Structure 1
Amino acid sequence: MVRTPLDWPVLRQLRGPDVLGRGPAARSRDTEELTPRTKTADRVVGSVCPYCAVGCAQRVFVKDEKVVQIEGDPDSPVNRGRLCPKGSASKNLVTSPLRQQTIRYRAPYATEWQELDLGTAMEMVADRVVKARNDTWQDIDEKNRRVRRTLGIASLGGATLDNEENYLIKKLFTAMGAIQIENQARI
């Protein structure tokens, strides 16, 4: 593409209807040819920002099963389409090549770490939760009262969880019989 002095923004501004240079006169051909990533997305998925307890809604734009953009959801009464700097950087949290894809695990008494895939690590956690619950289950306490609980499992939530996540965690741990359920915000 050959560029001439007539393409200069100041000349376009003086020759055309955009004398203040706030519209088409200020835009280059390259800018006009750009297509937003959100326009070419296959689908949009609703999500919640993972960083703090505010729970800002996000729209996740997906193309070819890959995240191409994350923006604030303008329909949300919480953030009305706006995100803080950390929330705006959510895309990098999911798509960064530096993101860990495996779990580092050191077996008891081992001196070396080993890499595990996420599925294997989740199975190990689930097996240990079930075992701890079964090993420490109490139907009746020392005063012969029916308690149906376990003291072998506890939960300590963090301030990065929103109300919905805390609600689901509370329901999960209560259903498992745990009674020691706390949140860092109360400590």
Structure 2
Amino acid sequence: MGVRRWIGSWPVYRQATGSDPLGRGAAAKSGASERLKPRVSTADQVVKSVCPYCAVGCGQNVYVKDDEVVQIEGDPDSPVSRGRLCPKGSATLQLTTGPAREHHVLYRRPHGTEWERLDLDTAMDMIADRVIAARRHGWQWEQDGDRTRRTLGFAGLGGATLDNEENYLIKKLFTALGAVQIENQARV
């Protein structure tokens, strides 16, 4: 390889001597980058969504191929984020396809050191039994002569990964159960 050809392969040289002085096109491309294809080019469909991490509500495009999520990117049509995502939002794909994602109910007994798998029905029954017991034990009909009809036996703290509809339903459920201590991480 001659020196002239070697220098001609430098992006800065191509930028300075070619038709791309700002380095936004051909000057910035190499042979390897020419052969690259976007990982979203094979997607069957694009589903509009909202980032689940905080209350900002950045728009996301979820790319799906064969009923599997293959990529999640910022939605340029979103008036909130205009296609941008923070580092947590950019890592949203890990929520659906990450190797660390758990697909089973795990339970650690009181004072236990190991996690054990439970089937979903058993876990739901345990939660229901504990909610009923906490409600019954912490129920207050009145306090200081004022009618309260509430329980201080449990509280709710929602996560920012819940959307508005899920938070609305959880608020309604906890209110119907008599809980008054209901908050959401997105507001905290």
Work out whether the TM-score is over 0.5.
Answer: yes
User: 1:52 deviation in Å?
Assistant: 2.7
Distance in 1 of aligned mates of 2:85 and 2:39: 18
Distance in 2 of aligned mates of 1:93 and 1:59: 15
State the Cα deviation string for residues 128-185 of structure 1 (Å, max 9, x = none). Answer: 36634773596965869694x4443321345x46782544432232233322323568
Distance in 1 of aligned mates of 2:132 and 2:9: 71
Distance in 2 of aligned mates of 1:110 and 1:95: 30
- Which residue is 1:28 aligned to? 30
Q: Show structure 2 runs of 5+ residues with no match.
A: none
Q: Is the 8 A contact 1:62 1:69 kept in 2?
A: yes
User: 1:114 deviation in Å?
Assistant: 1.0
1:104 and 2:89 aligned = no
- Which residue is 1:123 aligned to? 124
Distance in 2 of aligned mates of 1:183 and 1:23: 46
Select which of 39, 42, 58 maps to 1:40.
42
Distance in 2 of aligned mates of 1:19 and 1:144: 77
Matched residue of 1:75: which SS? coil
What amino acid maps onto 2:181 in structure 1?
Q
Q: Is the 8 A contact 2:48 2:59 kept in 1?
A: yes
1:153 and 2:143 aligned = no
Distance in 1 of aligned mates of 2:184 and 2:56: 15
Identity of aligned residues (%): 53
User: 1:23 deviation in Å?
Assistant: 2.5
Q: TM-score, normalised by structure 2?
A: 0.66
Distance in 2 of aligned mates of 1:96 and 1:39: 21
Q: Is the 8 A contact 1:129 1:153 kept in 2?
A: no
Q: TM-score, normalised by structure 1?
A: 0.67
| 1:79 to 1:111, Cα distance in 2 relative to 1, 3 A | closer
